[in-house]
A and B are shown apart, each in its own frame.
Chain A
Amino acid sequence: MFQNLENYLDEINHYLAVSSDAKEILAEIKSHILEKTEAEYKTITEDTVNKIIAGYGKPQQVAAKYLEGFEIISPTFKRHLFLYTGILFACHFGLTLVAFLFQFSMVGFPFLYIPDMNIWQFIFYVPMAFIYDIGLVAIFLYLMTQKKKEIRMPWPRLFAKEMKKPKIIFMILLIFVFFLFTFLKFGTIFFASMNDPSNPTPMFDRSASLYYSLLFLALIACEVIGYALRFVNRSRWLNLIKNFVILILLQFVWNSPVKAEFVKIPGIDLKNNAIALVLIITIVVAFKFLRSLISVGIQQFTLKK
């Protein structure tokens, strides 16, 4: 047999790997090439076979003609690939950031494992997470394509809504002014008892009061600035940055260098109550951060296209 013909068929076979009837296709191509060689050159040699092979086309192009209609991912899902990857990566990145800031790991077997990381591990983890996410979405869309049914994939608009006007800014501003005034007057915004309004009992010692009060004032100030900026720019990035900064501030609450000494009040566990309150705030902010991240992702992947 002619080695050049065998090599040529092997090459075509390589690209036909997904076809169930590759053997039959190759037999037919082989038969055709030999038939044509004999018809045109009267003799079948390595040289004459080579000439016919050259006219038949490159192996990849030949195989591609047999594979028409066997798309791995339907062209109608192209936009979904980018959008879903954007949403998934936004969630993944958000959770990774929260896990990194608050120093814990997360497991959602078999799809998610976010380890407790240092800054370098975090930097290396993020691009890897993106590649993982795009792969996961691609597998999902591949399976949908192979089903060959008319499937209308959801196109989420929930997070893509227009940003509303900042109606509650004055309320938040009022809260900020109130707390600022309180802080300036008493040196803290956290109190264990208000029985004597002119001399309330602080929740914890002086250094902790100063540290946590300043952090929470900064947190409320972020909200005020975030809302105020919406009057001049309603970009979704603004929300994202605001929520990110607040998450960073909350991280300083959880990983505080100041050890708070809580005052003792019979029947009330001030420390646990404070932890519960901060936990609720963190969850709400983390959710808002994720939502704004998804919103920005959708804007980047869809509205510009």
Chain B
Amino acid sequence: MEIDITNLETEMNRGFLQILVLAALEQKMYGYQMLKELEELGYRVEENTLYPILRRQEKNGLIKSEWDVTGDRPKKFYIITPQGRSVRKKALSIWNEQNEILKKLMEI
């Protein structure tokens, strides 16, 4: 019988997605564009999961946004802030450390 790991995957994605967003927003992007970019990289994320994360990161000052109303319809673009870069650096460092610990454990 196959074990369902959906809940575990959701938990793991929660942290990973935070770093992923900070990494992706090195260049200016709007939500749908980001979903497509991540999908091309092989990572599928629910749209109703991505937008609340963007909102929380913006509230925490890690990213900033602005509406572009020049096209057919308004689009909200996001980009990382200097504070976001600093957080991303620390988060990546933690992530790498965790990865190392896991590797060591798996070697044993």
List residues of A whose CB falls within 8 A of some B CB. 21, 25, 27-29, 31-32, 34-36, 39, 56-57, 61-62, 65-66, 68-69
Given contacts A31-B74, A31-B75, contact A25 B48 (CB under 8 A): no
Q: Cβ of A39: which chain B residues have Cβ within 8 Å of it?
A: 32
B52 on the A face (CB < 8 A): yes
Given contacts A28-B31, A66-B55, contact A35 B73 (CB under 8 A): yes
1/0 per residue B37-68: CB within 8 Å of A? 00000000011110110011000000000000
Given contacts A28-B31, A32-B31, A35-B32, contact A62 B48 (CB under 8 A): yes
Find out whether the CB atom of A32 lies under 8 angstroms from the CB atom of B52: no
Give the complex CA separation of A25 and B73 in angstroms.
16
Contact with B48, one of A31, A34, A65, A69 (Cβ below 8 angstroms): A65
The DSSP consensus for interface residues of chain A is helix
B90 on the A face (CB < 8 A): no
Task: Pick 30 A–B contacts, CB within 8 A, sort by A.
Answer: A25-B55, A28-B31, A28-B76, A31-B30, A31-B73, A31-B74, A31-B75, A31-B76, A32-B31, A32-B32, A32-B47, A35-B30, A35-B32, A35-B73, A36-B32, A36-B47, A39-B32, A56-B48, A57-B46, A57-B48, A61-B48, A62-B48, A65-B48, A65-B49, A65-B51, A65-B52, A66-B51, A66-B52, A66-B55, A69-B56
Measured CB to CB, the closest approach of chain A to B13, in angstroms, equals 13
Q: Given A28-B31, A28-B76, A31-B30, list of 12 further CB < 8 A pairs?
A: A25-B51, A25-B55, A27-B74, A28-B51, A35-B30, A36-B32, A39-B32, A57-B46, A61-B48, A65-B48, A65-B52, A68-B52
Find out whether the CB atom of B75 lies under 8 angstroms from the CB atom of A35: yes
Give the complex CA separation of A39 and B94 in angstroms.
37
The DSSP consensus for interface residues of chain B is helix
Interface size on B, residues (CB 8 A): 15
Q: Cβ of B51: which chain A residues have Cβ within 8 Å of it?
A: 25, 28-29, 32, 65-66
Give the complex CA separation of A21 and B31 in angstroms.
18
Which B residue's beta carbon lies closest to that of A12?
Answer: B48
Give the complex CA separation of A28 and B89 in angstroms.
28
Find out whether the CB atom of B73 lies under 8 angstroms from the CB atom of A56: no
Greatest chain B CB density within 10 A among A32, A34, A61, A66 is at A32
Give the complex CA separation of A56 and B56 in angstroms.
19
Give the complex CA separation of A61 and B47 in angstroms.
12
Measured CB to CB, the closest approach of chain A to B5, in angstroms, equals 21
Give the complex CA separation of A32 and B55 in angstroms.
14
Q: Cβ of B52: which chain A residues have Cβ within 8 Å of it?
A: 65-66, 68
Contact with B73, one of A34, A57, A66 (Cβ below 8 angstroms): A34
Q: Cβ of B47: which chain A residues have Cβ within 8 Å of it?
A: 32, 36, 56
